[in-house]
Amino acid sequence: MTKFPNDFIWGTATSSYQIEGAATKHGKGPSIWDAFSSIPGKTHNGETGEIACDHFHKYKEDIQLMKNMGVKAYRFSIAWARVMPTGKDRINEAGIQFYSDLIDELIKADIVPWVTLYHWDLPLALQMEHDGWLGASMPNYFAAYADLCFERFGDRVKHWITLNEPWVVSILGYGQGVFAPGRVSTSEPYMAAHQLLLAHAKAVHVYRKKYSHQKGTIGITNNCDWREPLTDSELDKEAADRALQFFLGWFADPVYKGDYPSIMKERLGDRLPKFSSEEKDMIKGTSDFFGLNHYTTMYAAHNDGTKKEQSVYGNGGISEDQHVDLSLDDNWKLTSMNWAVVPWGCKKMLAWIDERYGNPDIYITENGCAYNDELINGQVNDQERLDFYQGYLKACQEAISDGVKLKGYFAWSFMDNFEWASGYDKRFGLHYVDFKTLERTPKKSALWFGEAIKHNSADI
């Protein structure tokens, strides 16, 4: 049986707006997701996170379920507007208390908290006053919010993630408009991304300057799907690599190398904002580990610009800028998000990161899948999800044998939750949630995941 290294971190993950509920309770201010989901047509059936899984009231029960699985770590996010209702100045002590109690409860259960500071639920006031991430003062507000979190929770939290998936914020929030704040543009994604990177870097500098005595680690989590060249031609190989640079290099190159990929600078010209030399120095080296959220794989082929690019479900970023056609293999199994299940793509993704960024410590901070699960006689037989996890975890084991420093893996998600624009229609959980009674039931995949943790292996 191939085992993971002894210190491998097995975890599960969630985010604040997707699970907490209590969206207007105990002094929490509104976020852009409260506003966005209240607009008719923006989410499946008009669903919102107002109640979600009611984790705000059920967190003790949830931690017990995690303990039953034997997870070593739990990744959750703090709702900025719960601790700072308008995103700046005034602190909501009831919100601080909630996260403080949650952290204490995790530590009591021997589960290590991994805290994301920003998982997309921007305080609405900052959207209205500063145009959200387009605003030049946002990095300072984010750094002040991060400072508050380090001050209040850093005695117990030693693993921080500044931003979750700035690519999604930029492309889906400011490009395609399918996520909050719902902006549609081909230039704003690059502007929002620029402020997000500066915000990340400022927060890291606050942590390293003021809180080094807390002896924690801090980094950023980016998402990237693998791009496999459609054919062996040089043009398709270049197209696949170009697509990866526009996807992941966009955010990881500044952090690891100090600037955007040159291919982006060449192709975007003035649409890509420039970092000053001080900013480059400030951003470079601001991640203690490489956080990766990985979900799927697509083929990439060169498009010479004479025909319209094919983008199968719109996740290719701004395809006009890349000249890349994306496609799927008919033999690939699809999840209910229509994301293809391709474990070898995960292994290649890890190898690409390892090579491009100099063998960093990597954590997969999200990987998982949605299926149309049903609760029958108190059980959920989600064999497809079990197979998904086994396949991807085996790919992780292979990557580790090849020398990739993959140090941990967090399943997305601990439980079914509010899947953004898809509402409650898409179930990603290891635990089934009945959204009428809010009852939780471990799925078959959760029991398997617990066994895998016990054996420290996916070969079970």
Q: Rounding to the nearest 10 degrees, give the CA dihedral for residues 10, 12, 112, 395.
A: 20
Contacts to ligand PNW from residues 15-34, by CB under 6 A: 15, 18
By CB under 6 A, tell whether 322 contacts ligand PNW.
no
Cα 131 to Cα 17, 66, 183, 201: the distances in Å are: 20, 38, 10, 20
- Least separation in angstroms between CB 19 and ligand PNW: 10
CB 69 within 8 A of CB 58: no
Which of 121, 165, 236, 325 touches ligand PNW (CB under 6 A)? 165
What span, in angstroms and rounded, lies between the C-alpha atoms of 6 and 19? 31
Tell me whether residue 366 is one of the annotated catalytic residues.
yes
Q: By C-beta, is 59 or 76 nearer to ligand PNW?
A: 76
Which of 164, 195, 297, 319 touches ligand PNW (CB under 6 A)? 164
Q: Is 119 annotated as a binding residue?
A: yes
Q: By C-beta, is 77 or 195 nearer to ligand PNW?
A: 77
Say if strands 362-367 and 406-412 run parallel, antiparallel, or are unpaired.
Answer: parallel
Residue 189 C-beta-side C-alpha neighbours within 13 Å: 27
What span, in angstroms and rounded, lies between the C-alpha atoms of 369 and 227? 18
Positive or negative: CA dihedral 244, 246, 252, 258: positive
Q: Phi and psi dihedrals of 150, rounded to 5?
A: -60, -40
Cβ within 8 Å of residue 182, ≥6 positions away? 36, 39, 42, 173
What span, in angstroms and rounded, lies between the C-alpha atoms of 388 and 70? 20
By CB under 6 A, tell whether 319 contacts ligand PNW.
no
Which of 303, 311, 315, 445 touches ligand PNW (CB under 6 A)? 315
- Least separation in angstroms between CB 304 and ligand PNW: 25
Tokens 């190159």 found at:
253
Q: By C-beta, is 289 or 412 nearer to ligand PNW?
A: 412
- Least separation in angstroms between CB 18 and ligand PNW: 6
Which of 168, 283, 362, 404 touches ligand PNW (CB under 6 A)? 168
CB 17 within 8 A of CB 418: yes
Tell me whether residue 234 is one of the annotated catalytic residues.
no
CB neighbourhood size of 284 (10 A):
17
Q: By C-beta, is 275 or 388 nearer to ligand PNW?
A: 388
Q: Is 323 annotated as a binding residue?
A: no
- Least separation in angstroms between CB 388 and ligand PNW: 13
- Least separation in angstroms between CB 460 and ligand PNW: 26
CB 159 within 8 A of CB 113: yes
- Measured from each CB, the residue nearest to ligand PNW is 315
Q: Is 420 annotated as a binding residue?
A: yes
Contact region for ligand PNW (CB under 6 A) — 141-149, 160-168, 257-265, 279-287?
160-168
- For residue 212 the two structure tokens come to 């080094």
Q: By C-beta, is 165 or 384 nearer to ligand PNW?
A: 165
Q: Which DSSP symbol is given to 414?
A: S
What span, in angstroms and rounded, lies between the C-alpha atoms of 187 and 385? 38
By CB under 6 A, tell whether 121 contacts ligand PNW.
no
What span, in angstroms and rounded, lies between the C-alpha atoms of 220 and 398? 24
By CB under 6 A, tell whether 419 contacts ligand PNW.
yes
**Which residue in 47, 165, 279, 384 is the catalytic one?**
165
Site string for ligand PNW, 220-239 (x = CB under 6 A): ---x----------------
Cβ within 8 Å of residue 128, ≥6 positions away? none
By CB under 6 A, tell whether 412 contacts ligand PNW.
yes
Contact region for ligand PNW (CB under 6 A) — 25-33, 125-133, 162-170, 440-448?
162-170
- Least separation in angstroms between CB 189 and ligand PNW: 13
- For residue 366 the two structure tokens come to 């999200």
Q: Is 412 annotated as a binding residue?
A: yes
CB 203 within 8 A of CB 232: no
Closest C-alpha among 291, 377, 302, 392 to residue 343: 392
Closest C-alpha among 94, 195, 194, 111 to residue 156: 111
- Least separation in angstroms between CB 340 and ligand PNW: 12
Which of 92, 293, 303, 319 touches ligand PNW (CB under 6 A)? 293
Q: Is 33 annotated as a binding residue?
A: no
Residue 374: what residue type?
A: E
- Least separation in angstroms between CB 274 and ligand PNW: 27
**Burial grade of 49 (CB within 10 A; 0-12, 13-18, 19 or more):** buried
Contacts to ligand PNW from residues 295-314, by CB under 6 A: 295
Contacts to ligand PNW from residues 358-377, by CB under 6 A: 366
Interacting residue ranges for ligand PNW, rule: CB under 6 A:
15, 18, 164-165, 168, 223, 293, 295, 315, 366, 412, 419, 428
Catalytic residues: 165, 366
Annotated binding site, which residues?
18, 119, 164, 295, 412, 419-420
Annotated binding site for substrate, which residues?
18, 119, 164, 295, 412, 419-420
